Amino acid sequence: MLGNERSSRTGPVLGSLLALLLLGAVAPAAAVAQSRDFLFGTPRTTFTLRAGLHMPRAGSGNGTESLWDLTRSELTVDTRDLAGASIGGDLAVRTTNRLDLLLSIGYTNSKTRSEFRDWVDNDDLPIEQTTEFSIRPITLGLKAYLKDRGRAIGRFAWIPETWNPYVGVAGGIVFYRFVQHGDFVDFETLEIFGDRFYSRDRGATVHLFSGMDVAVNGRVLLVGEARYGFASAPLSTDFVGFPDLDLAGLQVTFGIGFRL
């Protein structure tokens, strides 16, 4: 049963690959559209909606066993099982032809069912539990395009370029929620008990990202982006003795943007 559930997690990956193929298919059509499309004046803001896959690093605690380490060693959970859906939104304010001030918000969530690797109950049945993990980053940063995004024709007309790669850096705060619930083993008494362990907190985060805009027309963009966030935050009293929880991870998203 658990194997089938893990296989179902390939859905977001296949969705991302299909979105990448769509991005490649639309690019030639966009090039044709650009030959006849223009705007009256340079756009000043861009709003983007993105969705894709988040893959947490789930790292160790600088030589100390982390909660992620314990989860992987005791339960049938691998790092790849913690991957989950990611959604986000960006509001970019143009400062120069190649530079935007960028406000970003996001949300990622994963839900992983597991069982103890080396223990079963008195009826030789698996001891099962669920791990839920979500993060909500809010960042402010700079987004730099590697070439001009368009050119002015006369005093009023502005013609956008077909494709524009970009890089960026951002900083802010990330909120997390970590929950494990189900059945567990008391290693002192060897009794099996049901419980729910919970932690939530926040920490500072830094994001590095790169991507590409592909213009469908003067107003609409297709966007593909890879973003890596660095962060950690304290655990609550349900998880005493562990170092800060590693919140770093990679997001790969695709979406649509609107020039305003």
pLDDT single digits (tens) 112-145:
999 999 999 989 999 999 999 999 999 999 999 9
Identify the weakest region by mean pLDDT among 13-22, 76-85, 90-99. 13-22
Can you give the CATH number for the domain in which 246 is found? 2.40.160.20
- Please tell me the predicted confidence (pLDDT) of residue 42: 79
- pLDDT tens sequence across 86-98: 999 999 999 998 9
Identify the weakest region by mean pLDDT among 51-65, 69-83, 134-148. 51-65
Reference 48, options 260, 191, 255; nearest CA is 255
Domain of 241 in residue numbering reads as 2-259
pTM above 0.85, yes or no: no
- Please tell me the predicted confidence (pLDDT) of residue 46: 96
Mean pLDDT of the chain, nearest integer: 86
Q: Please, which pLDDT band fits residue 157 given cuts at 50, 70 and 90? A: confident
Question: Total domain count for the chain?
Answer: 1
CA-to-CA separations, 50 to 53, 127, 167, 252, in angstroms, rounded: 10, 37, 16, 9
Q: Out of 8-12, 152-156, 234-238, give the one with best mean pLDDT.
A: 234-238
**C-alpha–C-alpha distance, residues 230 and 247, integer Å:** 7
Average pLDDT over residues 224-246: 95
Average pLDDT over residues 142-156: 83
CA-to-CA separations, 160 to 32, 34, 92, 95, 218, in angstroms, rounded: 12, 7, 16, 16, 6
